[in-house]
Structure formats: structure tokens, C-alpha cells
């Protein structure tokens, strides 16, 4: 697969705090930051219950590079995911997390849906310019081994 094909691949990116740490997320805080960005974005909180996902989940919409995407957040385990997006959109999303949601100085870890399925461990998100961040995400996708 060439670089341009790899860059167009879409998966879910999952971001969370480093092990044994917290960002102190609240649904109210996430909603406020989302509404600062887009006043009319959709936000829904499901209380959970039966099924594979227990506990509450916040679903939301966000526009990145003029593309409407969906995400979700959980308080336990704490984290935020952006669904069906490219590495470039994921890089823009994580830059927004650092600037708006995650407390200054906090570490962000990441994985992808494919990485989770392949038991690839979470990795640290490097605090680097966007092109290097995209390269990090693309290298992760290649490491999942499911592209053949």
C-alpha cells in the first residue's frame, strides 16, 4: 500500500491519559469545550446498561478540516475517541484535545480500533508538529499488521 492510500484509511482513534493518571474529565467540561468550537454540535449522553459497554458514554459531533465527524467520551475508563477518521483528522483532533480538554502538561496515549483488535499496546502521543504526529499515527496503522 502506498503512502497516499495509507493516509486515506479510516479507523477509530482512542485517546486517554497515561496509566494511573487522570485528566479529570466531566461531560459538562467536554460539552463546554465542544460548544466553544461549534455552538450547534450534537451531544448525547447514553447512560449505558446491558451489553458490552457498561456505564455512561457521551456521543458528540465535531468538524475537523471541514469534515463532520463523530466521537465519544467515557469517564470510566477515562478517554475520548474519534470515529472513522484519517490520521490527519486524528492529528487535528489530538491538537484540539491538548489545547482545550486535556490539562496542561498531561500525557496523552492513543490506540486505534485496529490496534486494539491486534493487541497492539497503547502508545504515547508525541508533542510534535502535526506532520510528525500524522507520521506517528500512520506508523501505528502499519504496525497493526491488518493491511495486507
If you average pLDDT over residues 29-44, what whole number do you get? Answer: 93
Domain hosting 26: range is: 3-143
Q: Which residue has the cell 510528525?
A: 132
Burial of 47 (0-12, 13-18, 19+ CB in 10 A): exposed
Q: Is residue 53 part of a domain?
A: yes
pLDDT at 38 over 70: yes
If one counts the domains in the chain, the total is 1
- At 66-95, the pLDDT tens digits run 899 999 999 989 999 999 999 999 999 999
Task: Tell me the three cell numbers of residue 75.
Answer: 469517564
If you average pLDDT over residues 5-34, what whole number do you get? Answer: 93
pLDDT at 35: 95
Amino acid at each position: 500500500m502506498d503512502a497516499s492510500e495509507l493516509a486515506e484509511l479510516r479507523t477509530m482513534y482512542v485517546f486517554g491519559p497515561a496509566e494511573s493518571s487522570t485528566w479529570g474529565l466531566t461531560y459538562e467540561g467536554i460539552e463546554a469545550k465542544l460548544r466553544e468550537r461549534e455552538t450547534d454540535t450534537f451531544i448525547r449522553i447514553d447512560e449505558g446498561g446491558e451489553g458490552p459497554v457498561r456505564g455512561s458514554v457521551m456521543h458528540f459531533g465535531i468538524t475537523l478540516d471541514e469534515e463532520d465527524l463523530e466521537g465519544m467520551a467515557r469517564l470510566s475508563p477515562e478517554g475520548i475517541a474519534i470515529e472513522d477518521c484519517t490520521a490527519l483528522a486524528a492529528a487535528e483532533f489530538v491538537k484540539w484535545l491538548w489545547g482545550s480538554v486535556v490539562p496542561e502538561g498531561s500525557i496523552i496515549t492513543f490506540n486505534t480500533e485496529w490496534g486494539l483488535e491486534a493487541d497492539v499496546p497503547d502508545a504515547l502521543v508525541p508533542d510534535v508538529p502535526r506532520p510528525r504526529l500524522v507520521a506517528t499515527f500512520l506508523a501505528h496503522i502499519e504496525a497493526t499488521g491488518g493491511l495486507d
